[in-house]
Amino acid sequence: MKVLLINSPLFRYKNLLYDEDSLPPIGLGYIGTQLRKSGINVRLIDAVDNRIPLVELIETITKAKPNFVGTNIFTTNYELVKELVESLHFPTHIVVGGLSTKQLYQQILTWNTPNPITVVTGDGELIMSDIVRGSVKDEPFIQQGNRRVFQVNQDSKYLVSDISDIGLDRSFFPNEPITHELGFTEANIVASRGCVYNCTFCAAARSLNKDYPVRERSDASIVAELNEIRNAFPHVNSIRVLDDLFLKSEKSVQKAINVFSPFDFQWRSMAHVQTFRNVGIDLMRGLKESGCFELFIGIESGSPKILSSINKTKDVSVIIENINKVFSAGINVKGYFIYGFPDETEEDMEMTYELALKLKHLSLDHGTNFRTSVFQYRPYHATQIYHELEAQGKNLQATQVTPNSALSELVGRYQFNFHSGNFSAVEYQTVEDYICRTININGVNIFSGLATNT
Ligand code: B12
Ligand code: SF4
């Protein structure tokens, strides 16, 4: 049996200007590891990292003629993955997985191919070997002819209830370790699955994933993986924790200190604007001493109206206070922002820009760095805002996503600029203007601490 796993492409064509690093598809790596452990012949093609145009990807898969093609799918590349699957004109079995299948499975079942399609929602690593062997022990949630859906939720035999020792064969990721533009060399880990918060724009929100428990790895298993990385890649000096939300509370701050302190690594991860609310300055210093070098924080907006509509704290002073605490501990911040939320006005956008500026100046006061990552709002399937827009009769066409080349030419980061309609109260040009200004908050320098002007 031959299995080909595909990290699905974001673009139809090869974009010669696109030369960004991409992160390894860890979920597919876990699946590949289990298949290999079961003695199944498996290969992973990363169409994002290798910038493989759709036509070439179809040719490569057709030439390899695997018995199974397993691919992930996202709202933004739904149409590309559909076309890929419908263009495979040889007998094979298609398996589609990833977080967005919880919302997309009905549409996937209608794809036009004579090949069988199996959709998996939730963890893929344990069920995939049994799909390949034809011995799945769960009843399908849906079975229609040669199409079926398996839900790997809390009632499934295939849920990875303890994610500690599932094992990850890093040889699936030729693009790792990654050398960052700031000079450090980094490997990626996943230490937990699922998020405890409920942001209305996010597909990982708790309310959308109630049957899929939040799980954390044990301290010992994370330490064991860090040791493995240190031994396998002696030149790696930085670790990025890819979890939706690694630092969520005081307890998780303590856990991070425990696992990273024995190592010389610097490390970075996501945190929430509320994470540090009850965390004392000693623990914050401990975090820094454990190697925490930069935190990624979803700030999203500076407008109380917008913040409230997306379920973040509407009290902007809480955001400033908590992020200031991070700066005081000597830790840098990358703030994520979104412009173009439904009914967002220019006044709301101005408040966001002002907040970004304020945070930049605070970081300078503390001798730390602040940088921004800014997105245009896109409705993801079944998120709360998606439903609200649908109820208002908006023509969502959420899968009709096009790369936003004009924005990419202005600000780079091709892999993150996509357009699927303007839902704000202002002209698109204004949204784009705020995105550019906020991305360029540090001028040409990546960090505020390096900036010489403003
Ligand atoms: C890290 C991350 C990334 C990384 C790595 C992406 C990757 N390919 O793995 C980077 C930064 C590159 C990235 C990019 C994008 N991401 Co992202 N990402 C995440 C994040 C924070 C964690 C993913 C992760 O590693 N989880 C841990 C692993 C163990 O879980 P997993 O990947 O889900 O895989 C498990 C299961 O889902 C399943 N599974 C996954 N694939 C398959 C395939 C098969 C065949 C099977 C059977 C099962 C299966 O089995 C895996 C093991 O249990 C999630 C949030 C989240 N909660 O998932 C967003 C998330 C998945 N990303 C999202 C999006 C939109 C994107 C982009 C499209 C953004 C963009 N550019 O516009 C791109 C897609 C690029 C691509 N093709 O890779 C959305 C998806 C929403 C949606 N409806 O589409 C999420 C949910 C965040 C959000 N804002 O809501 N992302
Ligand atoms: S945006 Fe972040 S904090 Fe909010 S639900 Fe998604 S993963 Fe959780």
- Residues 335-378 have pLDDT tens digits of 999 999 999 999 999 999 999 999 999 999 999 999 999 999 98
Q: Where residue 196 falls among pLDDT bands split at 50, 70, 90?
A: very high
For tokens 């559909």, name the residue: 82
Q: Which of 195, 209, 210, 274 to mutate to test the pocket of ligand 2 (most atoms within 8 A of CB)?
A: 195
Atom number of ligand 2 nearest to Cα 204 = 6
Q: Which of 200, 202, 319, 385 to mutate to test the pocket of ligand 2 (most atoms within 8 A of CB)?
A: 202
Which position has the higher pLDDT, 408 or 161?
A: 161
Average pLDDT over residues 130-144: 97
Q: What angle do CA 175, 299, 371 make, to 5 degrees?
A: 55
The tens digit of pLDDT for each residue in 116-126 reads 999 999 999 99
The confidence score (pLDDT) of residue 18 equals: 56
* Token couple for 239: 């670790």
The tens digit of pLDDT for each residue in 68-112 reads 999 999 988 999 999 999 999 999 999 999 999 998 999 999 999
Average pLDDT over residues 386-391: 87
The confidence score (pLDDT) of residue 304 equals: 97
Please check the confidence at residue 181 and state whether its pLDDT lies above 90: no
Amino acid in the structure at residue 234: P
Atom number of ligand 2 nearest to Cα 195 = 8
Q: Where residue 453 falls among pLDDT bands split at 50, 70, 90?
A: very low
Q: Which CATH class is domain 2-152?
A: alpha beta
The confidence score (pLDDT) of residue 450 equals: 60
Q: Which of 415, 435, 404 is nearest to 338 (CA)?
A: 435
The tens digit of pLDDT for each residue in 401-418 reads 777 777 777 766 666 777
Give how far Cα 143 sits from Cα of 12, 49, 146, Å. Answer: 31, 34, 7
- Comparing 36-40, 157-161, 330-334, 428-432, the range with the smallest average pLDDT is 428-432
Q: What angle do CA 176, 178, 181 make, to 5 degrees?
A: 170
**Does the C-beta of 7 come closer than 6 Å to ligand 1?**
yes
Q: How far is the CA of 58 from the centre of ligand 2 (A)?
A: 34
Average pLDDT over residues 134-153: 97
Sign of the alpha-carbon torsion through 407, 272, 206, 424: negative
Continuous H helices in 18-162: 26-37, 54-64, 78-86, 101-109, 125-133
Q: How far is the CA of 313 from the centre of ligand 2 (A)?
A: 13
Average pLDDT over residues 8-35: 84
Percent with pLDDT over 70 in the chain: 94
The tens digit of pLDDT for each residue in 281-291 reads 999 999 999 99
Q: Which of 72, 186, 338, 380 to mutate to test the pocket of ligand 1 (most atoms within 8 A of CB)?
A: 72
**Does the C-beta of 27 come closer than 6 Å to ligand 1?**
yes
17/101 Cα distance (integer angstroms): 31
Q: Which of 74, 78, 92 to mutate to test the pocket of ligand 1 (most atoms within 8 A of CB)?
A: 74
CA 294 from chain centre, in angstroms, equals 17
- Ligand nearest the Cα of residue 176 is 1
Identify the three-state secondary structure at position 376: strand
Atom number of ligand 2 nearest to Cα 198 = 5
Burial of 311 (0-12, 13-18, 19+ CB in 10 A): middle
* Token couple for 442: 């540090």
Instruction: List the residue whose alpha carbon is closest to atom 70 of ligand 1.
Output: 416
Average pLDDT over residues 216-225: 97
Q: Where residue 21 falls among pLDDT bands split at 50, 70, 90?
A: low
Average pLDDT over residues 271-281: 94
User: CATH: 3.40.50.261, 1.10.10.10, 3.30.450.80, 3.80.30.20. Which one for 177-450?
Assistant: 3.80.30.20
The confidence score (pLDDT) of residue 454 equals: 35
CA 111 from chain centre, in angstroms, equals 26
Each domain of the chain, given as residue ranges in start order, spans 2-152, 177-450
**Does the C-beta of 416 come closer than 6 Å to ligand 1?**
yes
Instruction: List the residue whose alpha carbon is closest to atom 77 of ligand 1.
Output: 8
Q: Tell whether omega for the bond before 177 is within 30 degrees of 0, i.e. cis.
A: yes
Q: For residues 414 and 403, is the Cβ–Cβ distance under 8 A?
A: yes
According to DSSP, residue 139 is labeled P
Q: Which of 17, 46, 12, 50 is nearest to 29 (CA)?
A: 46
Percent with pLDDT over 90 in the chain: 78
Please check the confidence at residue 325 and state whether its pLDDT lies above 80: yes
What lines the ligand 2 site, CB under 6 Å?
195, 197-199, 202, 204-205, 244-245, 272, 298
Q: How far is the CA of 77 from the centre of ligand 2 (A)?
A: 21
The confidence score (pLDDT) of residue 387 equals: 85
The confidence score (pLDDT) of residue 400 equals: 67
Calculate the average pLDDT of the chain: 92
E strand residue ranges, 215-310: 215-216, 238-241, 266-271, 292-300
Q: How far is the CA of 190 from the centre of ligand 2 (A)?
A: 16
Please check the confidence at residue 190 and state whether its pLDDT lies above 60: yes
Q: Where residue 182 falls among pLDDT bands split at 50, 70, 90?
A: confident
